[in-house]
């Protein structure tokens, strides 16, 4: 079974960046293929990875429901969906991507989601790692359209509002009884350069009160910001970029704790 890492947090705190850097670093480890799942309805993980998405799973789900009565003879709904799901998978070197797309409308999606879940379970067995970029509501995890997680990284920039969001996500994961083996907070300094010692202690105190352990810090990285402003993919970030090095250190710490190399 693939080792699954989910990334969550308030909008704009750096979830997609962290998920993208993790995915890229996992590919570089050459231990096996990596599947990335964009579970944010504002699909943009592919841009960060420099890939194109032709169709999201949400679009396929709607299309299947629309066409269900007019399928060609001999083609079952399951076959139609499974074929469509294969088309949704964006394949690239060592890394494949699935975009979940928009959430569900007012129709009954149970039958479609059932096939979806089965496909996702089968699919994830082909990968060594799965990296899931969530939106703050954890919708796909709660609907079980994606499987449980070995690890949930909740990203925060240290501001009270994003730490409150981190707490809410942590509580939501409990309420929904999500299968998550470990959870950590990642402190991404994207909104501040240097902090005074008292300022740092203040934020560390706030982080401690969330009840989440901080697994590492990511410095504000001007090169990363320019890259993103200009619309370039993360792979163009220099190997020595401070944010990339920080995410690498976090990943190594996590995998070491898991008994990996």
Ligand X SMILES: Nc1ncnc2c1ncn2[C@@H]1O[C@H](COP(=O)(O)OP(=O)(O)O)[C@@H](O)[C@H]1O
| Nearer to ligand X (CB atom), residue 182 or residue 220 | 220
Minimum distance between the CB of residue 213 and Mg ion, rounded to whole angstroms? 23
Q: Which two tokens stand for residue 219?
A: 């410095």
Task: Tell me which of ligand X, Mg ion, none is bound by residue 24, counting a contact when its beta carbon lies within the kind-specific cut-off of 5 to 8 angstroms.
Answer: none
Q: Which does 248 bind (CB under 5 to 8 A by kind): Mg ion, ligand X, none?
A: none
Nearer to Mg ion, 115 or 169 (CB): 169
Q: Which is nearer to ligand X, 62 or 135 (CB)?
A: 135
Residue 14 Cβ vs ligand X, minimum distance, rounded to whole Å: 3
CA 202 to chain CA centroid, Å, is 29
Location of structure tokens 């293929």: 33
Sign of CA dihedral 210, 211, 212, 218: positive
In the complex, the smallest distance separating the C-beta of residue 227 from Mg ion, rounded to whole angstroms, is: 15
Classify each residue of 136-175 as buried b or exposed e, where b means 16 or more C-beta atoms within 10 Å of its C-beta.
bbbbbbebebbbebbbbbbbbbbeeebbebbbbbbebbee
* Cβ at position 91, least distance to ligand X in Å: 23
- Considering the complex, state which of residue 15 and residue 189 has its C-beta at the smaller distance from Mg ion: 15
Interface residue list for ligand X (CB under 6 A): 9, 11-17, 188, 190, 218, 220-221, 224-225, 228, 243
Please report how close the Cβ of residue 188 comes to Mg ion at its closest, in angstroms: 12
Q: Rounded to an integer, what distance in angstroms lies between the CA atom of residue 98 and that of residue 85?
A: 9
For residues 70 and 164, the answer to whether their CB atoms sit within 8 Å is: no
* C-alpha span between 33 and 204 (Å, rounded): 36
CA 104 to chain centroid, in Å, comes to 19
Partner whose binding site includes residue 11, from ligand X, Mg ion, none (CB under 5 to 8 Å by kind): ligand X
In the block, which residue shows the tokens 């096996």? 32
Residue 122 site contact among Mg ion, ligand X, none (CB < 5 to 8 Å, cut-off depends on kind): none
34 vs 123 by CB, closer to ligand X: 34
The residues binding Mg ion (CB under 5 A) are 15-16
């Amino acid at each position: 079974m693939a080792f699954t890492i989910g990334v969550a947090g308030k909008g704009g705190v750096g979830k997609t960046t962290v998920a993208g850097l993790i995915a890229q670093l996992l590919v570089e480890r050459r231990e096996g293929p990596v599947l990335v799942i964009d579970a944010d309805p504002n699909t943009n993980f592919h841009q960060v990875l420099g890939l194109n998405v032709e169709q999201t799973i949400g679009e396929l789900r709607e299309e299947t429901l629309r066409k269900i009565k007019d399928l060609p003879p001999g083609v079952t709904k399951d076959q139609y969906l499974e074929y469509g799901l294969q088309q949704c998978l964006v394949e690239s070197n060592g890394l494949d991507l699935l975009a979940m797309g928009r959430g569900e409308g007012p129709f009954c999606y149970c039958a479609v989601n059932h096939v979806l879940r089965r496909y996702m379970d089968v699919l994830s067995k082909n990968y060594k790692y799965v990296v899931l970029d969530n939106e703050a509501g954890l919708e796909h995890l709660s609907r079980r359209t994606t499987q449980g997680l070995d690890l949930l990284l909740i990203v925060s920039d240290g501001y009270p509002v994003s730490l409150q969001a981190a707490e809410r996500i942590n509580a939501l994961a409990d309420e929904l009884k999500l299968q998550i083996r470990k959870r950590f907070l990642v402190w991404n300094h994207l909104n501040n350069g240097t902090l005074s010692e008292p300022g740092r202690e203040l934020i560390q105190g706030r982080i401690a009160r969330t009840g989440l352990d901080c697994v590492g810090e990511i410095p504000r990285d001007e090169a990363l910001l320019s890259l993103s402003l200009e619309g370039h993919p993360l792979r163009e970030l220099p190997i020595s970029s401070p944010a990339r090095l920080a995410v690498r250190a976090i990943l190594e710490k996590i995998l070491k704790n898991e008994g990996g190399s």
